[in-house]
Amino acid sequence: QVHLEESGGGVVQPGRSLRLSCVASGFIFSSYAMHWVRQAPGKGLEWVATTSYNGDNKFYGDLVKGRFTISRDNSKNTLFLQMDGLRPEDTAVYFCAREAPPLGEFDYWGQGAPVTVSS
Amino acid sequence: SELTQDPAVSVALGQTVRITCQGDSLREDYASWYKQKPGQAPQVVIYGKNNRPSGIPGRFSGFTSGGTASLTIAGAQAEDEADYYCSSRDSGANLVLFGGGTRLTVL
């Protein structure tokens, strides 16, 4: 069965960096585009970034562009989110999600990794 | 581009409720709906205008036309009480948009 598991969350000071990982299992990871979506405490869903199945194409939400970098290692079935220059407003639970072709819905989600940016 | 949802909607048990999502650049083919309960990851309930993933009850249906997407729950059940988010793509289909979410209360 499909399973996505995030790790790497925690408490970090403003301006510092953090890297999230999402390990996938139960499907051919290298065949699927993947996404990161976040949810601030008590708030709605916010799309963060996406990478194509082979990592060649990447797109970012306006609020993280230039600070966050999405990447993947298909040999290890792992998706990453490198977060630099963190701000208090980046505090959220970060979910990884699989995109299902051809209509692009997010058919599987991880349980989320909490990130708190605070001094 | 933005997707706009009513913040809260309520429905009596067993009645029908419609949750709407408006966006000038809403792409119909990419319209989808997610259900989220507290402390849980979201779950897709409708995708591609009106497709239901396996395991989603038939009382859930979707419709999209002219910049408005709607999710209808016919005969709402207690377990349908949750936050619902619409989603679509930008014109290039590369960027993902989420609505602000609608909290559904089943009375």
pLDDT per residue as tens digits for the range A54-112: 999 999 999 999 999 999 999 999 999 999 999 999 999 999 999 999 999 999 999 99
The verdict on B91 touching A (C-beta cutoff 8 Å) is no
- In the predicted model, is pLDDT for residue A45 greater than 90? yes
Contact call for A104 and B93, based on CB within 8 A: yes
Q: Which amino acid is at A48?
A: V
Contact call for A105 and B94, based on CB within 8 A: no
Residue B1: pLDDT band with limits 50, 70, 90 = low
What is the pLDDT, as a whole number, of residue B101? Answer: 98
Whole-angstrom distance, CA of residue B63 vs CA of residue A39: 26
Contact call for B41 and A107, based on CB within 8 A: no
What is the pLDDT, as a whole number, of residue B91? Answer: 81
| Minimum distance, in Å, between the CA of residue A43 and any CA atom of chain B | 8
The verdict on B93 touching A (C-beta cutoff 8 Å) is yes
Contact call for A103 and B51, based on CB within 8 A: yes
Residue B61: pLDDT band with limits 50, 70, 90 = very high
Exposure pattern of A79-94 as b/e (b: 16+ CB <10 Å)?
bbbebeebeeebbbbb
The verdict on B100 touching A (C-beta cutoff 8 Å) is yes
- Mean pLDDT score of chain A, rounded to an integer? 97
